[in-house]
Amino acid sequence: MTIPQSFIQELLARVDVVDIVGRYVQLKKGGANFMGLCPFHGEKSPSFSVSPAKQFYHCFGCGKNGNAISFLMDHAGMGFVEAVQDLAQGVGLQVPDDDISPQERERAAAARQKQATLSDVLEKAADAYRRHLRESQRAIGYFKGRGVSGAVAKRYGLGYAPEGWRSLASVFPRYDDPLLEESGLVIVGEEGQDKRYDRFRDRVMFPIRNVKGECIGFGGRVLGDDKPKYLNSPETPVFHKGRELYGLFEARTAIREHGYALVTEGYMDVVALAQLGFPNAVATLGTACTPEHVHKLLRFTDAVVFSFDGDNAGRRAARKALDGALPHATDTRSIKFLFLPAEHDPDSFIRAHGTDAFAQHVGNAVPLSRFLVESASEGCDLATAEGRAHMASNARPLWTALPDGVLKRQLLGELAELTQLNARDLSELWNSGGGAREPARVPAPAPRPQAPAASPYADEPPWGDMPPPDLDGWQPHHEPEYVGGGGTSGGYEAPGAGGYGGGKPPFRKNSGGGDWKKGSNGKWSKRDKDAPWPPQPRLPRTPAMGRADHAARLLLSHMAFLEELTHDDHAALCAQPSPHGPLFTWLEAQFHEHGPLAWAVLRESLRDHECEDLAVKVMTGAHAQTEGELAELRLELRDLLNRMLIEDIAEQQKLLMLQAAQDPSALERYRALEQKRKILLGVNTATA
């Protein structure tokens, strides 16, 4: 879907960023701006400012900033198109799309209207269930028995569906309204409309919300021992089990603050964990974890911990979660698996052993790489050739699902060692069967040509009527130095001032009898080896390229690298001064909307865009060539981003030192940033 830039500009002119942010953050007037607690990091004193004049938000604590669209993308986890559609619907605008027919556009509008209508119906039912909970001592007693406080019950919107076949008839004037069936609230029997009845009866209710906070379905749990123990809403136009996660809307801020998402198996696990100090927990909806689940979580964090029971069912669920996580296990993400004792779930474990013990288990969770090897080796006797071959067969589809990168190459070596093969043989074996491609290898540098001991043409002039000299008899007089950054050009320059102008040329003949020169008569003769060379013309130089230019060049050339960046990386790029910051913001929006695109496609999309000149500049000239191993280019980008992050931390530390006298917590934030800076410096050293 292509949204014209003119429409984006009109949309941002119509919406009020204060209203959009105010849906999620409690704002108070403070001078010309509104202030509140930053939703992107934990803080006790407000440093999050929203400007109605600039239609922009900025946090002086963490540096997060942007407009109404970026806020919905960063805070609510929406994609670019989804955020634009959400804002457009609020101000009565129709999102244009030249790529679809009027009939398709009409159908899309009808689908959006149906989704909004169904969400309204479900929200009305959720309000009724919450009222019924306040009136049911039995349901309240159940939650109290599980240790759930009123505050947590309110946060998650917990409710109760009373006994009786048609309790919703008192909520909706038309109990035969088709929307009640379509939303999954009412079941219609085969005998006809007279056999309509409520789906949820005598159950405590867990409303399921999407990332925008809209109610899209329910989960209900019986109070006794009836079956089924848990009952979920069916698939509807607004609810798809394979895409949604229970508790994600409530946990999104805690996930950012804690630095990871904790994935559990049930609604009650999520609520209990939030009560016991782990509000960053979410749960799948009675189905196996899918790649869509993992991708949605990774919008909010780069670290995910799956928590499962230690019994056989828990191991099977973990194995399915591994399949869902593999396509997203890039080198910059952490995905782990936590297995509790067979007799415990997270709730019972914490109550028996305490939060510290559970936190320790989280810290010691099994990394994805180790769990992959364990899963492949399960049931295989690695002491025998047959067992090792069986393990390799199991490992092949798992390893193939991993995205290309350092992790994938390391695992190839580990799996090869277990099979008692070398990595090249294992890769070739898998390739020969039509499976995974062999990862690209960095070619070994070609050996430098060595000068012969005595060139046959060592004492002959280099040109003339005779055969040309052996080029292997010529060696560089010096190694050229690459000059980048600073105030000099990004090309090659000879040592000494003035490039080649006042010194020796880059190549001298390897002979002991001096060099050759051409006289005015056109004849070649020997010249004195100490005589100065005539002045040489200066070579044309490419303008210097800064870090932001290099990062733009790499990302425009290899847009898929955006998928591997952290939230801090994205923030640092988008916060760059204009025109670089807007270019990175635009590029990220294109990625969310279309996925990775070739530079030729991006070039056409940039026609008449404010960032067109910058993009064309960084993608033009010799410096724009990015041929080479992807692993090396990724390391180059990582190094650039780390340096940019270090510079940003230094600026934040300066501000914190100024605030320290009035805000004691500023020093604590300063120390946290210093620790982060040291980690980045360590990464720089390792990749240098």
pLDDT band, residue 63 (cuts 50/70/90): confident
Question: How many CA within 13 A on the CB side of residue 521?
Answer: 3
| CATH, domain 547-681, list 3.30.70, 1.20.950, 1.10.860, 1.10.10 | 1.10.860
Q: What is the pLDDT of residue 217?
A: 94
Mean pLDDT of 590-611: 75
- The answer on pLDDT for 684 being more than 70 is no
Compute φ and ψ for 187, nearest 5 degrees.
-105, 135
Run of H or E including 493: strand 492-493
Provide the 10 A C-beta neighbour count for residue 324.
21
pLDDT at 191 over 80: no
Residues 541 and 538: their CA atoms lie apart, in Å, by 9
pLDDT at 139: 93
Q: Report the DSSP pairing between strands 281-283 and 303-308.
A: unpaired
Render pLDDT for 437-455 as a digit per residue (tens, 0 to 9). 444 444 444 444 444 444 3
pLDDT digits (tens, 9 = 90+) for 406-441: 999 999 999 999 999 888 888 888 877 544 444 444
The pLDDT of residue 597 is above 80: no
Position 439 scores a pLDDT of: 44
Q: How far is residue 38 from each of residues 21, 594, 663, 671, measured CA to CA in Å?
A: 10, 30, 16, 19
Tokens representing residue 203 in the block:
């159950």
- For the chain, the domains span 5-91, 109-232, 252-389, 547-681
Output the pLDDT for position 455: 39
pLDDT tier at 242, thresholds 50, 70, 90: confident
pLDDT at 216: 93
**pLDDT above 90 (res 266):** no
Helices (H), 183-327: 248-258, 267-275, 291-297, 312-325
Higher pLDDT, 601 or 385: 385
pLDDT given at position 458: 38
What class has domain 109-232? Answer: alpha beta
pLDDT tens per residue across span 392-403:
999 999 999 998
Model confidence at 622, in pLDDT bands (50, 70, 90)?
very low
Q: What is the enclosing helix (H) or strand (E) of 306?
A: strand 303-308
CATH class given for the domain over 252-389: alpha beta
Percent of the chain with pLDDT over 70: 77
Print the SS3 string covering 651-676: HHHHHHHHHCCCCCHHHHHHHHHHHH
- The SS3 assignment for 205 reads strand
Whether 412 and 399 have beta carbons less than 8 Å apart is answered as yes
Is the pLDDT at 496 greater than 60? The verdict is no
Q: Average pLDDT over the chain, rounded to whole?
A: 78
Q: Which of 6-14's residues contact partners 24+ apart within 8 Å by CB, and which partners?
A: 7/93, 7/95, 7/96, 8/69, 8/84, 10/93, 11/69, 11/84, 11/87, 11/88, 11/91, 11/93, 12/55, 12/67, 12/68, 12/69, 14/91, 14/93
Q: What is the pLDDT of residue 193?
A: 53
Give the pLDDT band of residue 609 (cuts 50, 70, 90): confident
CATH for the 5-91 domain, from 2.40.110.10, 3.90.580.10, 3.30.565.10, 3.40.50.2000: 3.90.580.10
**CA–CA distance, 677 with 411 (Å, rounded to integer):** 29
d(CA 155, CA 687): 45
Mean pLDDT, residues 50-64:
80
Query: How would residue 605 be classed by pLDDT, with cut points 50, 70 and 90?
Result: confident
CB 403 within 8 A of CB 439: no
* 116 sits in which H/E element: helix 102-135
Q: What does the pLDDT look like over 195-233, one tens digit per residue? A: 889 999 999 999 999 888 889 999 999 987 777 888 999
pLDDT at 470: 40
C-alpha to C-alpha distance for 518 and 512, rounded to whole angstroms: 19
Q: Which residues pair with 338 in a beta bridge?
A: 307
Residue 488 pLDDT > 50 = no
For residue 117, pLDDT beyond 50: yes
* Averaged pLDDT for residues 650-673: 81
Sign of the four-CA dihedral 174, 178, 179, 183: positive
| Whether residue 297 has pLDDT greater than 50 | yes
- Look at residue 464 and tell me whether its pLDDT is greater than 50: no
Is pLDDT above 80 for 539? no
**Residues of the chain by 3-state class (helix, strand, coil), percent to 5:** 45, 10, 40
The 10s digit of each residue's pLDDT in 77-99 is 777 888 888 888 777 777 776 66
Query: What's the whole-number mean pLDDT along residues 341-355?
Result: 85
Mean pLDDT of 163-184: 90
pLDDT confidence bin for 172, thresholds 50/70/90: very high
Over pLDDT 90: what percentage of the chain? 24
55 sits in the region (left: phi over 0; alpha: psi -120 to 50; else beta) called left
Q: Tell me the DSSP string of 563-585.
A: GG--HHHHHHHHTSPTTHHHHHH
Query: Which has more confidence, 624 or 154?
Result: 154
Assess whether pLDDT exceeds 80 at residue 544: no
Mean pLDDT (whole number) for 539-565: 76
